Structure 1
Amino acid sequence: MSIDADRARPAVLLNPLAGDPTDADSHIGGPLLWPIDEPWPTCDGTTHDPASGAEPFVGAVQLYRRDYPELPFPEGADLLQVFLCTLHHELPHAHGPDVRLVWRDSSTVVELIEEEPEPSVQEELYVPTVNALEPIRYTEHADKVSGGTKIGGFTPWQTEPVEFPCPDCGAAQRQTLSLGTHEPSGEDVEWEFGREGNLNVLTCAKDVRHTVTVHVD
C-alpha cells in the first residue's frame, strides 16, 4: 500500500539507550569521526545568550547511511553529523540551541582530531548524554505524531501543519531529524527543548546542504 505523504510518512525512532559507541558508530553524544585537518564548527556568538563570544559547537548526533538509509544523503556522502551550540539562541522559529549539519564521505577521513573542543560555557539542559541507538521503523500519521527522537515523520503542531520554505531557494523544506526531550521508551537523553518538547530540523527538499530551519515545539 502506498504512503500518502500528506497524511502518513515513513519514520525511524532512534530509540537511544545507554552505551559506549565509538566514532565508527551511529550514536547520540559520542565521539565524532572528525578529520584533524578540518576546522571544528564554531558559533560566532552573535545570536546566543550570554554573549560570551565565539564558542565551539558540541557534537550531538552521528548517523551513518548504512544504518539509516532513510536520511536524504546527498551524492558522495554517507555520514550525517549534527552539532548544537549549547547556549540559548533567539532564532526565527526557535528559542534554544543553534544547529549545524555536516554531510560527509567517511572514507575520506584518514587521521582523526586528537580532542574535540569544548565550549567555555554552556546550558546543561542542551547537552546530551552518550547513547547507542536501537532504531524502530514505522509509519507516522499526521494526527498521531511521536515525540521521541526520530528521522522523518511529522513536526507536531497545534492548529495546522508546520511548513517552511528553504531560506536559500524557496523550495519546500521537510522534517529530517527531530530531537526529543522525552522518549517513548523512557530512556531520555537528558536534554530539554522548549517546554519539554522537540527540536525539529528541517532541510531543503532540493538540496540538504542549504540553510536549515530549526523549530522547537
Structure 2
Amino acid sequence: MGGPLLWPAGEPWPVYEPVHGAYGPLTTPADVRTLRQTIAQARSRPRRPGTDLLTEQETAAVDRIRAGYAPELLPEGPLPLIPLVQLYARDVPGLPCPEGTDMLQALWTPFDEIEGASGAVQLRWRLSSDVQEILAEPPEPAYIDMSDHVPMPCVLHPEQVREFPPVHLLTEEQTQRVDAWTEQRSIDHQHVDYEGDLSTAPGWKLGGWPAHFTYGCPADFEELRCGECGGPVEALLTVASSEWEGRSRSWRPVEDVDGDLYHTRTPTIVTVGRGCALQIYRCISTPTHLPRTIIQ
C-alpha cells in the first residue's frame, strides 16, 4: 500500500486533471511526508509533563507546511496519480487477474473527486515478468489538496476471512432470523452484533461483500454499472479509513491486541470522506475499463 510500483520505464504514468478547485490549503507530497515524520519523531521523544510536543524550530516548519501554497503559484494541467496498492496473485488468494496477468496496481488522485467513473481512480493489470526495466523515479503531483489521500507505505500480510451479506441486502425473513439468532447468542455468551461483528469485514480488503451504503441504500441502478460500457460490475477493492471501528472490534487482528491502537487501526493514515470507505468496482466483461467507485 502506498509504496513503489513495478512500473515499466517506457509506459506513461497515469494522470488526472482536477475538475473542481481545491477545498483547503494546497500542499505537496514531500511536505506531507515531512510533516508526518516531524510529528512522529516528536511523539517518540521523552518529555516532561507540561512541555510542548514540538520545538520552536519544528513548530515553525509545521506551521509553514499547514499554511500551504496559493493555487496561482502552482502549475496547471493534469497531475500524476498517487499509488494506492500493488497486489500479486502469488500473495493474494482470489485476486481476479485477467488472463495473461498476475498483478493489480491501483492509483488515485489527491483531490476530492474519487467517486464515480472518471480517471481519478485507475487500475492496471499486468504480467510482472514482462517488466524488464523499472521506472526509476515515478512522477509525483506538483501539489495536492487531500493529504489524507497520500498513504503511508505499508507492507501487506493478506488473510482470508469469511463474510456474510450486509443487512441492507437481507430479506425481511432473513433479517428476523438474524435478529433472533443474535439476541439468543447475546444471552448465552456475549453481546454479538451481526453487522459489526459478522457481516462485512472492515478495513482495506479485496473482494467480499460491499460495505453498507452511507449515502444511499440501496445503490441506484447506474451506480453499479460500468461507466464505459454500462455492463455489470463486481466489488474489487475497498479503501478504508480504518481497519476496524468501535462496533467491529472482533475483526481486530490478534497480533495487534497489545499494539498502539491508533497506528494498528489506521496504518495507512488514509481517510476517505469523513471516515468512510471507497468501494472500487471493476467491469466484469472488460477489466481494463475505468473502475466504478462509490463512497460508502
2:281 is aligned, of 172, 182, 202, to 202
Unaligned runs of 5+ in 1: 1-27
Aligned CA distance change for structure 1 residues 93 and 194 (closer, same or farther; 3 Å): farther
- Determine which structure has greater relative contact order: mean sequence separation of CA pairs < 8 Å that are 6+ residues apart, divided by chain length: 1
Q: Is 1:82 equivalent to 2:82 in the alignment?
A: no
Offset from partner CA, 1:107-137 (integer Å, 9 cap, x none): 1111111201111111211110010111221
Offset from partner CA, 1:55-102 (integer Å, 9 cap, x none): 0011110000111241211111111111111112174489xx921100
1:32 paired residue number = 5
Quick check: which one's helix share is greater? 2
Unaligned runs of 5+ in 2: 23-70, 167-198, 245-251, 253-263
Task: Give 1:48-67 correspondences, 5 Å limit.
Answer: 48-50=20-22, 52-67=76-91
1:178 is aligned, of 238, 242, 255, to 238
Aligned partners of 1:31, 1:92: CA distance in 2, in Å?
26
1:13 paired residue number = none
2:294 paired residue number = 215
Offset from partner CA, 1:3-62 (integer Å, 9 cap, x none): xxxxxxxxxxxxxxxxxxxxxxxxx0111111111111111x152533842100111100
1:8 paired residue number = none
Aligned CA distance change for structure 1 residues 55 and 197 (closer, same or farther; 3 Å): same
2:136 paired residue number = 114
Q: Is 1:127 equivalent to 2:206 in the alignment?
A: no
Return the TM-score normalized by structure 2: 0.58
Quick check: which one's strand share is greater? 1
Aligned partners of 1:99, 1:37: CA distance in 2, in Å?
21
Q: Quick one: which amino acid aligns to residue 200 of structure 1?
A: Q
Count matched residues.
187
2:165 is aligned, of 138, 142, 156, to 142
Q: Quick one: which amino acid aligns to residue 178 of structure 1?
A: T
1:18 paired residue number = none
Aligned partners of 2:158, 2:238: CA distance in 1, in Å?
14
2:97 is aligned, of 73, 89, 92, to 73
Superposition RMSD in Å: 2.2
The offset of 1:194, in angstroms, is: 1.5
Q: Quick one: which amino acid aligns to residue 115 of structure 1?
A: E
The offset of 1:208, in angstroms, is: 1.2
Aligned CA distance change for structure 1 residues 135 and 58 (closer, same or farther; 3 Å): same
Aligned CA distance change for structure 1 residues 102 and 93 (closer, same or farther; 3 Å): closer
The answer to whether the 8 A contact 2:122-2:290 is kept is: no
- 97-106 or 78-87: which moved more? 97-106
Q: Quick one: which amino acid aligns to residue 274 of structure 2?
A: R
Aligned partners of 2:202, 2:94: CA distance in 1, in Å?
19
The percentage of aligned residue pairs carrying the same residue is 33
1:152 paired residue number = 207
